[in-house]
A and B are shown apart, each in its own frame.
Chain A
Amino acid sequence: MRSYAAPYEDVWGPRRGRIVAAALALVFVVIVGRAAFVSFNGPDRSAVPVAKAEVARRADIVDRKGELLATTITGKSLAVDPSAVWESRDVVAAIRSVFPELGEDALTAMMADRKRQFVWVKRGLSDEQATALKNTGVEGLLFVEEPQRVYPNGRLAGHFLGYTGVDGEGLEGVERVFDAKLKLGGSALKLSLDASVQFVLEEELDRAFADFDMKGAAGIVVDANTGEVRAIASWPTMDPRQRGDQSDEAKTNRALNSRMELGSIYKPLTVAAALEAGVLQPTDRFDVSKPIKIGAVTVKDAHPLEHASSVSVTDILAYSSNIGSSEIAQRMGPQTQRIFLGRVGLLTGLKQDGPQWASPLIPARWDQTAMATVAYGHGISVSPMAFAMTYLPFANGGEYVTPTFVEPLDPETVKRTRVMSAQTAASVLGMLRTTVTTGSGKNADAKGYEVAGKTGTAEKPGPNGYDADRNITSFAAIFPASRPQYVVLVVLDEAQPRTGVNRTAAFTSATIAGKVIARAAPLLDVRPVLDVAATKSVVDAQ
């Protein structure tokens, strides 16, 4: 039998203590380790609940002064839950009471499949439409909140801004060209446009329609020194809110995407090219009393000039002599003319990122015939935007500058090319000022703004040759002539005065250009020139 009398010897006592201490230490290490793990490797909760908010909101588009042109707000869209619809006829009737343009059959078909729970009906509702639909009280309608692109200024710069699709992708204009940048969100895309000047230009083109029955129009205002486009308009205007649901006439951006024969506004280019080639002196005189045959074409003047047997170069521009222009072109020859027009950007598309203009239509063979007609703006079709840029050298001392549509101005992307001497530029500018003070451009002379410019009336080509009853009338202007700051181009397509019969540029586009300049100049901080001596010095420079 085992004896229990022996004194108890607790051999486990010290060990137990150590075991407990070790266990506690282990637990301690585990807890501290876990605490550290939780602290440094816990789930990143910040990303989870706000995941939807992280989807970039499409960036705004503003003008150079920060005026909002396009923005994204949270709007409502209409969907329907067919599984919740009891009587589809009531629902269809309710929807059509607000959107009568939606077809009854299409709406009924949407609700035919009762297993479906979501079908889009209409994206981008106005508040009034949403309220009206809610007030119908029918079942199954779903109002979904989603981003909606809006254009607070309505039609203003509609062609240039373009529009987005219902899912926010850029489809036309700036919205398409800068789609990737806009999708990133962040700060607004700042355009070089000035909304106030844009408004003036569009309003004057709109008013032109009151005076002239016209098919279309385009207008451009460009900073003569930097190439920044301050306004670019096409009439009829386009409403970006309708997302392209308009006629082709309204959707066409005539300023950028149409090609036109612009007529006599080419004559200053002919004169500049000849001066640069050294084959013409400003003091030379020409006999324009008789039509001349050059190549296969006989060049005539629609209105014979006074003292036509001896007219100055200034007279050829001021009174728009086709004969004189062709004679000047004949002195330099076709190749010199072609090279010069290429240097001012008329023979190619725009080779830079951003909005593009239509590629030109140029003579297949640049021979004597082509040379003679191109000298006065026929036989070559370019976009108004491309042409407007050709007048910048006259205004800035001889440099061709590529157009800029966004700010801030990036000196890396702006290309400046000297295309004529400062003397040639000043000489032609003086002739253009005389054209406005005493010649065909009188109606453009906005008081105080020393407008210099040239009229152009071109017959439109038709199936049977040029049609004398359909004209493109244009006016290219520079102001103020004594310290040029801006170039303006106004082009009217088939402008027919509603009263009277004179449909030449002197009475149509020149008048509109003058009105645009008178209203836009104060908005562009151009101080009027009230000093007669300043104007005289410009004319004397020719």
Chain B
Amino acid sequence: MFSGSNDNQTVWGEAQTASEYQELYRITEADLEHIRALRKSVSDRISEMIDPFYLWLEQLPEYHEFFPDSNIVERVKSLQTDYWRIFFEAEINETYVAQRRRIGEAHARIGLPLPSYFAAVNMFQELFNRILETEKLKADQKIATAESFGKLLHLDTAIVVETYNRIIEDTLTSHAKSLMEMSTPVTQIWNGILLLPIVGIIDSKRAGDIMNGTLAKIAETQARIFILDISGVGVVDTAVANHLIKITQATRLMGCDCTISGVSPSIAQTIVDLGIDVGKVKTTATMKDALADGFSRLGMEIVETNN
């Protein structure tokens, strides 16, 4: 990212409003005039852009994936005609930006790869230049118009790419969230008792996830007992022990007692060898012990029936 020294300058990549975009892509009123001048003639010759475009599109390997039947082709063609009609009106305002964002969304949702989108944009630019060549304009005016067309097309493409980016980021965030939920399955195993078995490694990111997931669950279920089973945790070193101690402190601050179960002989040895002060953290060897302790603290007991 580039940030200008002047505060009034639009910062790269942060353009939001239509005027900011226009400034960022250096689109002047003259540029817009150039495009508008062609509005009449291009709208008469729009099929000269659309038809060759589809001929080109059809020979692409992905074509049948995205255009399984002719109805879709017709619909997309008419949308594309609208797109170019609005393009040659060359009115850059909020509606214009919003509309370009919708186009980006539509392309991202169907899973069209960005390179294909760029190739299509490139194709349209080529087709436009072909039309421009046959227009009755002076040579220097043709060059200026081609330049203006390029600016406007880049603006459109940039908005679409931004939308792609945002959608990909949203997907990543939701994946990360579901991954976190999968890695911290805090379960209510009895009224007032939560259990979380941890398998694998505990780093600070995961410890944070465990803490947030657990605290939210405690608030939701109003559980009084939380059992954290670490029998599936391979290595307990100072860092891991500190994470575990922090988690127990946090749950205690919510008013929920935390017991760490599944402390194996080797983990117990390591903790003492490393001189880790586990403080007031309650630990048990097995999950069964922790559960029995939880029941007794809640004033409950398991009774065997004789049948």
Q: Are A and B genuine complex partners? A: no
CB within 8 Å of A: which residues of B?
Answer: none
